């Protein structure tokens, strides 16, 4: 029996990278998988197919996390389709990196809208069914730059720092209902996004990491599994840094 046997997990932004790795890990541990993505693209369909091959019950939902009403619609559909929503992984996020001097209002607004408002929308939507169940685990995908900041990422860093404050506040609000809320702060994770970086930039990042390697999406997925499962039943309001010791 898997660690998530019979539980239903809702994962946003699950078509690639960290979201995909979490979906596959949770499917292999017996969870029912509900996935969202902004579009019905090939990668999104492939992730669902891979989860099904692992024996999971899977359903995909096209949704914009930045849309309040649409987020509530998706949660209602997940509860109707699966009977419950036991775990929420707020993973959807975007970057629009540039120095603040060059950053447009649209670049600021779009990143905050997806990365932070999206977390508010989905978390608010799942609280009602989780409170009724008197149990749940919410996992918010933050970043080490939300802790340390990073030049050229003031919008992204602000969204991820806001997510940390949100996580700690929600944990205090709903803990009495046996609902846990935690954040993960990945460091330099090797994904399609980081593959586009120049080699000298990647080498510079890795040189700053005590473990001397970039992380993998599976490293983050394993941490997500811990926070989603009953192994972390007494952990809430925390930020787990998956960064190879880059931040201490």
9: Cβ–Cβ under 8 A, 6 or more apart, which residues?
Answer: 26, 31, 32, 33, 34, 85, 86, 87, 88, 89, 228
- Number of other residues whose CB lies within 10 A of the CB of residue 108: 17
Instruction: Establish if 163 belongs to a structural domain.
Output: yes
Give the number of domains in the chain.
1
Instruction: Establish if 244 belongs to a structural domain.
Output: no
Instruction: Establish if 3 belongs to a structural domain.
Output: no
85: left (phi over 0), alpha (psi -120 to 50) or beta: beta
Instruction: Establish if 217 belongs to a structural domain.
Output: yes
Digit-coded pLDDT (tens) for 220-231: 999 999 999 999
- Full domain range(s) for residue 56: 8-237
Burial class from Cβ neighbours inside 10 Å (0-12, 13-18, 19+) for residue 204 reads exposed
Instruction: Establish if 63 belongs to a structural domain.
Output: yes
Beta strands in 109-231 (DSSP E): 136-141, 179-186
Instruction: Establish if 46 belongs to a structural domain.
Output: yes
Q: Give 12's pLDDT tier (boundaries 50, 70, 90).
A: very high
Instruction: Establish if 228 belongs to a structural domain.
Output: yes
Q: Which of 156, 223, 225, 241 is catalytic?
A: 156
Digit-coded pLDDT (tens) for 165-224: 999 999 999 999 999 999 999 999 998 777 777 788 788 888 989 999 999 999 999 999
CATH at 174: 3.40.50.720
Q: How many CA atoms lie within 13 A of 23 on its CB side?
A: 34
pTM here is 0.96
**Catalytic status, residue 156:** yes
Digit-coded pLDDT (tens) for 52-100: 999 999 999 999 999 999 999 999 999 999 999 999 999 999 999 999 9
Please state the separation of Cα 220 from the chain's center in Å. Answer: 10
Rg (CA), the chain: 17
Instruction: Establish if 1 belongs to a structural domain.
Output: no
């Amino acid at each position: 029996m898997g660690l998530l046997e019979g539980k239903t997990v809702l994962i946003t932004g699950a078509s690639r990278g960290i979201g995909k790795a979490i979906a596959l890990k949770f499917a292999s541990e017996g969870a029912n998988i509900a996935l969202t993505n902004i579009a019905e693209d090939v990668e999104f369909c492939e992730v669902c197919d891979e989860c099904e091959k692992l024996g999971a019950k899977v359903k995909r939902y096209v949704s914009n996390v930045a849309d309040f009403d649409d987020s509530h619609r998706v949660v209602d559909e997940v509860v109707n389709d699966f009977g419950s929503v036991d775990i929420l992984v707020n993973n959807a996020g975007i970057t629009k990196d540039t120095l603040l001097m060059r950053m447009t209002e649209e670049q600021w607004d779009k990143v905050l809208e997806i990365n932070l408002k999206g977390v508010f929308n989905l978390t608010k939507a799942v609280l009602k069914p989780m409170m009724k169940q008197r149990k749940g685990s919410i996992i918010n995908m933050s970043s080490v730059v939300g802790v340390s900041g990073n030049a050229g990422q003031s919008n992204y860093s602000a969204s991820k720092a806001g997510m940390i404050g949100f996580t700690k506040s929600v944990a205090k609000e709903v803990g009495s209902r046996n609902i846990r809320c935690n954040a993960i702060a990945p460091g330099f994770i090797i994904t399609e996004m980081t593959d586009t970086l120049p080699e000298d930039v990647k080498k510079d990042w890795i040189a700053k990491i005590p473990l001397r390697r970039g992380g993998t999406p599976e490293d983050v997925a394993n941490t997500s599994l811990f926070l989603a499962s009953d192994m972390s039943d007494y952990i809430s309001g925390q930020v787990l840094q998956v960064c190879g010791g880059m931040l201490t």
